[in-house]
Amino acid sequence: MFNKDLFKKIGEDVYVYRNFMSDEEADAVTLYLDRLGPEDYWQPHPEKRFKVKEEKGVKSLEEIRSRIQSLLDEGYYVGTNIHPHKLLNGTKRYAHSDKEEFVEASKASELYVDGEDFDYADGMDMGMYLFFNDFEGGEFYYEEQDIVYKPLKGDLLFHSPEDHCKHSTEEVLSEKYYAWPNHIYHMIKVPKGYVPSGHPLTNSMGR
């Protein structure tokens, strides 16, 4: 699925590529995000976690995304979003498996009958995070494996979306925590016209 030679394995299906981004690259993204006003973020749920609006996406992440893509085997892709998240002081994230957002698409693929018309959707293979600043707290805790991972600026993290990599985020102790959550996927067939609510179809993105 991806070139593991450049990653350190820190748990079952948990891998980190230290210093994937240079300090200069990460600092440039952080500076851009620091300059965004509250109106340039939206808050999707009660956790103090914000996502950059689509029109304010970080353009430099297109090149970073291409570099991540170069690590992947043929037939696997990096999600197209370029919208980092911002976690505020005091934020904790609940325990979850990354597959939760993609369950409906997976179930839809089971409804597809070979030979019928189809659309493509994302079949998730790995959760992905890239970290842009140093911060206190905010450790990832993989409860099924009793592993604690402390993100560092420039780290690229891959982990399985399955339950053995269920994870939570410890309380953020710094003023802010900037990260880019994304995913690694392959294309799966779903019945024509079926639109999974959990994640958009990818056939319109030129895959």
pLDDT attached to residue 106: 82
Question: In the predicted model, what is the mean pLDDT of residues 165-183?
Answer: 96
**CA distance linking residue 30 with residue 32, whole number of Å:** 5
Report the candidate in 87, 76, 68, 70 with the shortest Cα–Cα distance to residue 168: 87
Q: Is the pLDDT of residue 166 over 60?
A: yes
Q: Is the pLDDT of residue 11 over 60?
A: yes
Q: Could you give the dihedral angle defined by the CA atoms of residues 105, 63, 54 and 16, in that order, rounded to the nearest 10 degrees?
A: 60
**Overall pTM surpassing 0.85 (yes/no):** yes
pLDDT classification of 199: cutoffs 50, 70, 90: low
Q: Check if the beta carbon of residue 194 is closer than 8 Å to that of residue 105.
A: no
Amino acid at 86: K
Report the candidate in 135, 176, 171 with the shortest Cα–Cα distance to residue 155: 135
pLDDT classification of 196: cutoffs 50, 70, 90: low
Identify the residue with better confidence: 205 or 153: 153
Classified as helix, coil or strand, 175 is: coil
Q: What is the DSSP code string of 53-68?
A: -GGG--TTHHHHHHHH
Q: Is the pLDDT of residue 22 over 60?
A: yes
pLDDT tens string 97-112: 998 878 888 888 888 8
**CA distance linking residue 192 with residue 117, whole number of Å:** 5
Q: Output DSSP code: residue 102.
A: G
Report the candidate in 90, 88, 83, 87 with the shortest Cα–Cα distance to residue 29: 83
pLDDT attached to residue 204: 36
- Looking at the DSSP bridge assignments, the partners of residue 78 are 184
Tokens of 147: 């592993």
Q: Is the pLDDT of residue 206 over 60?
A: no
pLDDT classification of 122: cutoffs 50, 70, 90: confident
Helix extents (H) in 90-153: 103-111
Tokens of 107: 């179930």
**CA distance linking residue 35 with residue 105, whole number of Å:** 36
pLDDT attached to residue 200: 52
